[in-house]
Amino acid sequence: MSGKRQTFLPILACAAALAGCPADRPVTVGVVAPLSGQWELYGRPIANGIELAHEQLSADPSFPRPIELAVRDSQSDPKKSAALLRQVYEDDGAMVAIAGVTTPEALEMIPVIDDEEKVLISPSATSPRLTGISQYFFRVLPSDFREGAKMGNFVAQELDIKRVVILAAESPYAKGIQDVFKSEFERYGGEVLAVIEYPTGTTDFSQYVREALSHAPQAVYVADYAFEIGSIINLVKRQDFRGRILTTSAFAAPGVFDQVGEAAEGVLLTQVVFNPDSDEPAVRRFVDAYQAKYSSKPNFYAAHGYDAMMVIGAVLRDGDIHSARDFYKELRNLRDFVGAAGPVQFDEKGDVGKFPRVYAIQDGELADFETVIEQRKREIQERLDELRRREREAARRAAEGGEGAN
């Protein structure tokens, strides 16, 4: 898509400014996403999810007013994304926007939303730096604080890994999550042997991988975006590294596992739960409609784009909304919303209380690694319980035999 204004459905725009716009007039929702460039692999499924939610809301005869989408392609340029966000607020009259797909884009947008005093809902930016950064910033995906903390805790306590090297980009996203991982890993007795950072835009990671493995770690934690993570994983595996490779949910982008191939097998990553095979009604409605529309199973990012749009729909359905200020107030009061990727309720800082789990890549798919570990623990406990039962039974029989001899 170009930078020109586009809509997913031909709905007439509100002719007046949204402040004071009659309740039956359309509400414009801005969408700024990387639909081309290096972050398209995140932006495209998110845009698909938004489009699907928009179609469902528009087709619902009980929905109180039409919604128009004003869509812009940031081309994966953070500064351009901020300028486009201002355009959808000012030129298109957007009451609210779904934008800030990546942390760099979201950070550039904060001054815009503060100037405009309008809500931005991010579907996927996760840096801890964004927590509480603006009263108008909300996100349906939790902060990396939870994701980094989960991995640090899990590998130290459940996998008994004690020595790790961190390999990370010099970017706000990577910095945020690797700092949390390091803090939590060390809190549970682990040692970070080295933190090796490389400039954003690096394409040859050979020297950084060699340096990382020279420390003889039990695991390497990689923090970056998908293709860069994939390149590093391939290099690490070529060095015949026998330890664990750990990374983030950014690696779980469409097509990346296939591109990395066998090297991705066994890699561990943290991600908020989204199960497209779930029988939950909200999940089934989303997944079935997505597959019918796009002829493919939706991923984690599509689900969060969908939920961001459905959150907007929930606010417009339940609230008496005439202005951007009204929308902000009603969003603050959102309760009991359950989306395709789980419940959404914002805290006072605009964050949601979802919790990630640890997944392993098996046969090119994500498998819940925590479930495997929990099952192994149960099996071990069952064997121990059986052994103790047999020991008690043997002791009882021995005691009975001794009494009989007397």
Residue 201 belongs to domain with CATH number: 3.40.50.2300
- Predicted confidence band of residue 399 (pLDDT cuts 50, 70, 90): confident
| 265 within some domain | no
Residues 202 and 232 in one domain: yes
Q: Give 292's pLDDT tier (boundaries 50, 70, 90).
A: very high
CA 372 and chain centroid, separation? 22
Domain that holds residue 211: 145-247
The answer to whether 271 and 141 have CB atoms below 8 angstroms apart is no
Residues 11-38: pLDDT tens digits? 333 333 333 444 568 999 999 999 999 9
Residue 375 makes CB contacts below 8 A (sequence gap 6+) with none
Taking alpha carbons only, the member of 49, 56, 11 closest to residue 31 is 49
Task: Report how many domains make up the chain.
Answer: 2
> Checking phi first, is residue 253 left (phi over 0); if not, alpha (psi -120 to 50) or beta?
beta
The total of other beta-carbon atoms located within 10 Å of residue 295's CB is: 7
Residue with tokens 């298109």: 92
Mean pLDDT over each residue of the chain, to the nearest integer? 90
Report the percentage of the chain scoring pLDDT > 70. 89
Query: What is the identity of the amino acid at 292?
Result: A
Each residue's pLDDT tens digit, 59-98: 999 999 999 999 999 999 999 999 999 999 999 999 999 9
Q: Is residue 86 part of a domain?
A: yes
The answer to the question of residue 403 being in a domain is no
For residue 378, give every residue at least 6 positions away whose Cβ sits within 8 Å of its Cβ, in sequence order, or none. none
For residue 117, being part of any structural domain is answered with yes
Question: Could you read off the pLDDT of 371-389 as tens digits, one per residue?
Answer: 766 665 565 566 666 777 7
CA distance 15 to 145: 43
Q: Which residues, 6 or more positions from 320, have their beta carbon under 8 angstroms from its beta carbon?
A: 23, 326
